[in-house]
Amino acid sequence: MHIIAKGSVMTVRHALLGSPLGPLTLSADSEGLRGIYFAGHRHPPRQDSLGEQVQVAVDPLLSQVAGQLAEYFDHARTSFDLPLTPVGPAFHQRVWDRLRAIDYGERMTYGAIATELGDPRLARAVGAAVGRNPISIVVPCHRVVGSTGRLTGFAGGLDRKAWLLALEGAGEPALF
């Protein structure tokens, strides 16, 4: 996975993609993937920040994203290799970087991430950053669970979180 520093001029565009979890909105700029959002996403982007709507098939980056997502959904991919340009504050960026290091099929708690980032008292701040992750699935916020193993706080909905964990063979999560 590549994280690209933001350039001075970026062409933002978006496309709609069907998936086993319902329609996804893919958002990209000239440097990389900015977002993947579910229908009914808890923290959707502003519509005016998505740019022009394009077709996945004619956009090289969005076509690559769609292909890798299809492989993931078909159990043929366990990690993603895409240029990423998520937009957010520095602390959120640190949390999102840590999310990318959670292996396929693994789970981690908000508290464990906070501890790794240097302060176990930051678990709620970590939760807020995880909840604002703009690149669902590729930046695997679905792999983060509560301290008891219960599913909590997924912007795409807890049913989708459970589905993604089941897809990855992460065992039967303690639901809600």
| Residues that are catalytic | 141
36 CB-near residues (< 8 Å, 6+ apart): 24, 25, 26, 27, 65, 69, 134, 135, 136, 137, 138
Backbone angles phi, psi at 83, to 5 degrees: -75, 130
| Pairwise CA distance, residues 94 & 126, whole Å | 9
- Cβ atoms of 137 and 79 within 8 Å: the answer is no
H-helix or E-strand containing 14?
Answer: strand 13-17
